[in-house]
Structure 1
């Protein structure tokens, strides 16, 4: 029996990471088992260690992938927005009912933030890198980008966005969930003229 080609092994590795990135957002880090991820990827549990040194190594890659997907989505939204409206478009998409419902493909910070302090250092490092990118992305779209206070404003905006999304997902009252989203949007991204 021949060994898999490097390209085939890389494709399989990416399939596992994709499945893990969805699984951690859906079930959390502790609710995500290697066996479940391998099954979702269409593979046997026994093949796991051909791709990862440990569960934590896989979770770190999954956290990185989930963060990268979220940042890429924001970048696409910003690029498609009319001039001067990128930040508003990003916030409207982030604080949308669709994003509340889209746990498996949505922002991993809002889905996993409360679990992060209990994760292995490599998982936290991957998530931290992507959180910094998220903050930088918001800062770059602020009207006063590059001036004193812009980074702090981005920190507050990202914290509010993530917290609002977490709360909107947490409550079992649809009206309250909608009000949380609407209030944050009204405060940070008022409708244009």
Structure 2
């Protein structure tokens, strides 16, 4: 039975989605073709009708994983949000117990950075594209006027968050208290409790 173009596209997207989640959960080396196709509801041989190799799928899945965001940053309009409030929301959302405990639904930088570094130049290039996109999106949301200094601040915050999440995950099973302490410490350091700025009430002019 011939499969329609729409169904073919849907099957392909399902494979990429399944791979993007499973790779983040188990690492690039911890997932087999059968795991991916089974999760996508397809047969083992179905994968190679869409991708020339498992490595090609891994690269596309990795790039797809970078579409993940805590909040829909790309939908924000310039000036429609308070950068300080957004920074607080993003940092506290990223460095949360929920994000730590669900890597398959979270940030690929924290889940796959070590694997990507070992996977060769092609995967490294894909990963670099995703990281660069994250830097730009984060800067737009949290920096009033993105410039060289704002980019440096963004990289500092993002790298700190990724490192904290990696350490928190690594220690969660063996020392839960330390894992929570790492998250709490970085939340406090990077984005202290946000207090909305009160709008000043204009002084009424005194009639002479």
Same fold (TM over 0.5): yes
Q: In the alignment, what sits opposite 1:174?
A: 176
1:156/1:83 Cα in 2 relative to 1: closer, same or farther (>3 Å)?
closer
Stretches of 4+ aligned residues off by more than 6 angstroms: none
Q: In the alignment, what sits opposite 1:25?
A: 24
Instruction: Give the whole-Å Cα distance in 1 for the aligned partners of 2:128 and 2:137.
Output: 14
Q: Tell me the CA shift for residue 127 of structure 1.
A: 1.7
- CA deviations on 1:2-49 (whole Å, 9 max, x unpaired) are x21111000000111111011101110011111111111111111221
Q: Is the 8 A contact 1:77 1:90 kept in 2?
A: no
Q: Tell me the CA shift for residue 82 of structure 1.
A: 6.0
User: What secondary structure is seen at the aligned counterpart in 2 of 1:74?
Assistant: coil
Larger radius of gyration: 2
Gaps of 5+ in 2: 196-208
Q: Tell me the CA shift for residue 174 of structure 1.
A: 1.2
Instruction: Give the whole-Å Cα distance in 2 for the aligned partners of 1:34 and 1:149.
Output: 44
User: What secondary structure is seen at the aligned counterpart in 1 of 2:42?
Assistant: coil
TM-score normalised by L of structure 1: 0.90
Q: In the alignment, what sits opposite 2:192?
A: 190
TM-score normalised by L of structure 2: 0.84
Gaps of 5+ in 1: none
User: What secondary structure is seen at the aligned counterpart in 2 of 1:149?
Assistant: helix
Greater CA drift, 124-133 or 98-107: 124-133
Aligned length: 189
Q: Is the 8 A contact 1:63 1:127 kept in 2?
A: yes
